[in-house]
A and B are shown apart, each in its own frame.
Chain A
Amino acid sequence: MDSNSLFYSLELVAGSGNTLNVEQTTALQTSLVILKKNYKFHRVLFWGKILGLKEDYFIAQGRGEDEMKDKKTLYSFNCMDWMLLAPATDSVIEEVSKTAKGSFVGDPSYVYEHVEIHRAGGRNDAIQEEVVTKVNEESRLAVTVHQIDEEASVVPRGAYLRSPHGLVQINRSFGGLSHSEAGKLDNFLHFSKAKNLKKKSILEMGDLNPAIDFLDVLSDDIPKGSWSLQLECASRVLVLRSLLWPGLTFFHLPTTPQHGHIYIGDGRKNLDLPFMI
């Protein structure tokens, strides 16, 4: 969620149980302003918190001119000193998916090890080769943040525009979804590069507005029912929770442009989802 609206938007996602205490919020208000200036970001988002066994990672995200591509992720333990995370490349993602298991520890230099035994040759003269993959927790953090952004970051339909040049920017004239629109998953989009859009039939494509509908719709997610949509805070705030990434909460105040999402959780994807719904 945008750092400027942090002081009231945290209250709106508090229904999931986790919040920040006053010391942390005030520290964020100060440090994110400095962060924005130092890194020359257009705006700074407070992305969330990943709970570790020893320490918790606080995560902020800076956005440049293009909201989708110019992203930088930073982490901190005390909400004041921010460290930049390296972008997650495909090779790192693969390594992390092999090695990292269980909860985060809370130490960026903690090393996860994975031993894979490759067998070569025939049955009798089998040559065993041990391949050890090592990954530190900092790259796991980068990968986790990247994956959550890819799979669970949500925006209401119409909040972002893509210009004909491909630049994605905030839609200044977005007035919010109406109450009836806000009750349907079709009006919420994944804020990541579209994957399903090309698979749609021509008939469905006919209704889409190329400036707005350049993202995937949540209702196309597999399995069906991987989002929980509810009205909270006396039924005035629309809250979406991801069941695939438990801990991700999105809020939107219908008929106002206020929206945002935050992740506070243990950084583990819910692979058991198909059994649970």
Chain B
Amino acid sequence: MESTDGNDAKSEQRLKSAAVLKSFMLKSSTESKLNLYDHLSRVLMKVMDEHPDNAVDVIEDVSREVKRGLFEDKQSTLRDLPQTTAAELLAEQQRLLFSRPEEADQEEELMDTPLPNVSEVAFYLEQAGVGLGREEMQRVFLALKQLVESQGLPRCRLWGKILGTESSYIVAEAEYREGEEEEESTEEAAEDEERDVEKEMNPLPQSAYKPPPTVPKEALGTGANKFAFYVCKEPGLPWVKLPSVSPAQITGARQIRKFFTGTLDTPIVSYPHFPGNEANYLRAQIARISAGTQVSPQGFYQAGEEEGDEEDEAPRDSFEVNPDFEGVPVAEMAESLSTWVHHVQHILQQGRCTWVNLAVKPGDDSNEEGEGEEKEEEPDEPEPEVGPPLLTPLSQDAEMLNIPPWTSKMSSVLTSQHALAVLRSNLWPGAYSYASGKKFENIYVGWGLKYSGEGFSQAVPPLPQKEYPSGPEITEALDPSVEEEQVLKEALEEEQAAQEEKDDTDDPEEEDDD
């Protein structure tokens, strides 16, 4: 009995000590508010659930994982990350378009505003089957308003839209302010100076190659640079002014065929090399499209009145709105192309609207006396290029690539009394014009590429230059061997000896002479 009693007492003691240990383990930590008992039971439960291999080796990891699991639960109560979509960002930008103007000088604006009535244009364009969609047009309208107000433009017009692979450009055409000058010129000058400084520091051998003279840019407000162009990706985003176009860029753009990407500073990777980035390419294509497709009803514009001593050679480059224009009947406009005229100058092969003679050096103007002589020496004076004069009817357009350049029709067949005359360019797919009475407009919506006929053929790189003709003077000879040198040396020595002998025999004679 004693033994059993003793056993009982022992087991009771054991239980008690176990309970003590349990209560110790149940004591929660002051830091993590966990207790060891719960933790161990979770760890064991995890081991039972998962039956990991070599459980004793990974028990620390299991324990850590259990602890981390508790943590993760807590993390889920954190605030979730707000995601901004592209639409939200754009909406934020476009909100500014809808801000109300202050009602100070509204009456003045109503009198003569440089802002075109895009809504009216959009209505007519919709009749013609062109457009960007009603809402989008309204947004473009508001964006144009923003542009006019921020830049203080004298006149502005929606030119169109050029599609790109990643985003598109909305293009606005504006007149230059009087006295406006390009900002780039100063930068270029500065760059040149820098280059000069570099040259002085470490002079390099100069190449004798002189590049052919570059055709000078046309001044702002004339020819291909008659208008300034602003582009933006989406209405509401900032407008960017495009640089003015140079003739080299226009001729370069004629030789390549590339999609626009939608980012202005993308380099144009092409052959032949295009001088500039996408902004320049875009500007060059806009100039080409404008020159080809900006048309108006005949009689809307008349030639500007110029002074009496007008030179016959100089093409007309100015025109004004004819106040007496009555409008051409729509049926007639849809029927014949001779009722439409170009009102943008044709771009010549040289890349300019007015031809410039490159053979005459710019410095020659000062000393005209010497010029006469020089000119006579010049073998062939280049033939001046002449384009069709301004306000030439479309019926005189050349037919290219076996398609008629224009397609004209009425906007409506059923109610032709109130229809518009619609003109579509086949050479520049995407260029449309409409006319109704005194109203007309041109727009371009497309990829900015010309019709290519049966296919575009990439220009082939020039043939490699001929190698220098190989002759004895540049042929590499074998080095003489030691024996050969020996032989030559002996021969030379013999010769020398013979010479000396000769001299020796000569000398006494001379002495004799003396």
A-side residues, CB < 8 A to B, are 11-12, 14-24, 51, 53-54, 78, 101-103, 179, 225, 228, 230-236, 241, 243, 246, 265-266, 271-272, 275-277
Task: Assign chain B's interface to a size class.
Answer: 35 or more
B-side residues, CB < 8 A to A, are 85-87, 89-91, 94, 126-136, 139, 161, 163-168, 234, 257-259, 401-404, 407, 411-415, 424, 426, 429-430, 445-447, 449, 451-456, 458
Which residue of B234, B401, B445, B449 contacts A17 across the interface (Cβ within 8 Å)?
B445
* Least Cβ–Cβ distance between A10 and chain B, in angstroms: 8
Known contacts A54-B407, A103-B426, A276-B258; is-contact A17 B165 (Cβ 8 Å) = no
Which residue of A11, A18, A53, A243 contacts B134 across the interface (Cβ within 8 Å)?
A11
* Least Cβ–Cβ distance between A78 and chain B, in angstroms: 7
Q: Output the nearest chain B residue to A266 by Cβ-Cβ distance.
A: B429
Would B131 and A272 count as touching, CB distance under 8 A?
A: no
CB-defined contacts of B401 to chain A, threshold 8 Å: 102
CB-defined contacts of A225 to chain B, threshold 8 Å: 165
A22 to B131, CA, bound (A): 12
CB-defined contacts of B446 to chain A, threshold 8 Å: 17
* Least Cβ–Cβ distance between A58 and chain B, in angstroms: 11
A51 to B422, CA, bound (A): 14
CB-defined contacts of B407 to chain A, threshold 8 Å: 51, 53-54
Would B454 and A101 count as touching, CB distance under 8 A?
A: yes
Give me the 5 closest cross-chain CB pairs, A-B, nearest first.
Answer: A17-B445, A14-B133, A235-B87, A272-B456, A228-B165
CB-defined contacts of A241 to chain B, threshold 8 Å: 163
Which residue of A23, A102, A233 contacts B136 across the interface (Cβ within 8 Å)?
A233
* Least Cβ–Cβ distance between B335 and chain A, in angstroms: 13
A254 to B167, CA, bound (A): 18
A-B contacts, 22 of them at CB < 8 A, read A11-B133, A12-B133, A15-B133, A17-B131, A17-B430, A21-B126, A21-B127, A21-B128, A23-B413, A23-B414, A53-B403, A53-B426, A103-B426, A228-B166, A231-B87, A232-B136, A233-B133, A234-B87, A234-B94, A246-B447, A266-B429, A276-B257
Would A228 and B164 count as touching, CB distance under 8 A?
A: yes
A235 to B445, CA, bound (A): 19
* Least Cβ–Cβ distance between A124 and chain B, in angstroms: 35
Would A275 and B458 count as touching, CB distance under 8 A?
A: yes
Would A15 and B403 count as touching, CB distance under 8 A?
A: no
Known contacts A11-B135, A243-B165; is-contact A19 B130 (Cβ 8 Å) = yes
Would A236 and B165 count as touching, CB distance under 8 A?
A: no
CB-defined contacts of B164 to chain A, threshold 8 Å: 228
CB-defined contacts of A101 to chain B, threshold 8 Å: 454
Q: Output the nearest chain B residue to A12 by Cβ-Cβ distance.
A: B133
Would B456 and A14 count as touching, CB distance under 8 A?
A: no
A36 to B352, CA, bound (A): 56
Known: A17-B131, A235-B90, A276-B449. 17 other contacts (CB 8 A): A17-B130, A17-B161, A20-B129, A21-B127, A21-B411, A102-B454, A103-B403, A228-B163, A230-B167, A230-B168, A233-B133, A234-B90, A234-B135, A235-B85, A236-B87, A241-B163, A275-B258
A101 to B455, CA, bound (A): 10
Would B136 and A22 count as touching, CB distance under 8 A?
A: no
Which residue of A14, A23, A53, A266 contacts B404 across the interface (Cβ within 8 Å)?
A53
